[in-house]
A and B are shown apart, each in its own frame.
Chain A
Amino acid sequence: MLITRQNMNDWNEFDLFNSFDKLGLEINKLFGLPFNGFRANPALEDEGLSTNLYTEGNDLIFRSSIPGVAPEQISVNVKDNVLTIDAERKSEKSDEAQSKYFRRERSQSRYHGTITLPEGAQVDKVTAEYKDGVLTVRVPRAEKPQPKQICVSCE
């Protein structure tokens, strides 16, 4: 439901920016992806991670942008073949500084992302590294399992 207002007499009240936020949410729902175009709504604090996925040989490599976080505030978990990344950006500023913002675009303070790992992922060999605000998670994968031949015996 992108268009919620049908009555043209309501144009005076039409809130353009609110509509953009709604559009962003709708696009989020459609694709299940973080939509970074409009981040004006401070209520959207907990957004998806912006992640690129690479492969190197058999390994899967996830690179997520998590700027300004201490490494100990990032948690990477694998449970039942589901990889979960959580991080929180703690504000170091005092209350006084908080009240004197001239411009505030970096609204995001919590990061969360989950993904189901494919078959063959070696969950006990997952490694994670945080450098320059980017978390790199490497998931090794086993060689493709060969189909097991079963002899059919008959008497």
Chain B
Amino acid sequence: MSNKNLEKNVNVTSSVAQNCDCSPAPKTDRVFRIPRADIYQNGDNVELELDMPGVSKENVQISLEGNVLTLTGRVGEIPSDWSLIHCESLQRDYQRAFELGSDVDLENIKATMNAGVLRVTLPKMATAKPRKIEVTA
């Protein structure tokens, strides 16, 4: 995958909550937080890493529509008998979308979730990998 393709990745669907309103988002009007992301090359793969603290493995949803990869994380519920005294972090779900380049092998995307960090591995298409061509006599 060329760097240029990745640089194009954009937020397609997300909107971010502007003020620190910690009440749970109403179900009908979903407002998401944009998780911070790192994108780096690892051998023949490109890795995406997103911070989603409070999201367990079961609550991650990854969907691919055309070449747009959408990552959604639902934060765990706070017990109802806890009352909030001071808030620095929104209790909102995460969502972020990335537009993938044509070099990504869409069939073999893998993802792992560990300690609130979602890692998505985007392998290159075989045709996009550098090949060595033997010279015959």
Contact = CB atoms under 8 A, between A and B. Distances in A.
Whether both chains belong to one complex is answered with yes
Interface in A83-118: 93, 97-98, 100-106
A103 B87 CA distance: 29
Given A67-B117, A70-B115, A100 B56 contact: no
Nearest to B47: A97
Given A68-B51, A102-B40, A50 B117 contact: no
Interface residues of A, number: 33
Given A56-B82, A106-B49, A134 B116 contact: yes
B91 to A, nearest CB: 8
Contacts of B54: 65, 132-134
Residue of B7, B22, B86 contacting most chain A CB atoms (<10 Å): B86
Interface in A42-68: 50-57, 61, 63, 65-68
Interface magnitude class on chain B: 35 or more
A52 to B, nearest CB: 5
B52 interface: yes
Contacts of B52: 67, 133
Given A93-B42, A106-B49, A68 B117 contact: yes
Contacts of B40: 93, 97-98, 100-102, 104
Contacts of A134: 53-54, 116
B89 A51 contact: yes
A33 interface: yes
Given A54-B82, A56-B81, 17 more contacts: A50-B88, A51-B86, A52-B86, A52-B89, A53-B84, A55-B85, A56-B79, A68-B114, A97-B42, A102-B6, A102-B46, A103-B37, A104-B39, A105-B38, A106-B36, A132-B56, A133-B55
Interface of B: 3, 6-7, 9, 22, 36-42, 46-47, 49, 51-56, 76, 78-79, 81-89, 91, 114-117
A-B pairs, top 7 by smallest CB distance, nearest first, are A133-B116, A133-B53, A67-B116, A65-B53, A100-B41, A68-B117, A54-B82
23 contacts: A50-B89, A51-B86, A52-B22, A52-B87, A53-B85, A57-B81, A61-B82, A63-B89, A65-B51, A65-B53, A65-B116, A67-B115, A97-B40, A100-B41, A101-B40, A103-B7, A103-B9, A103-B37, A105-B38, A106-B36, A106-B38, A133-B117, A134-B53
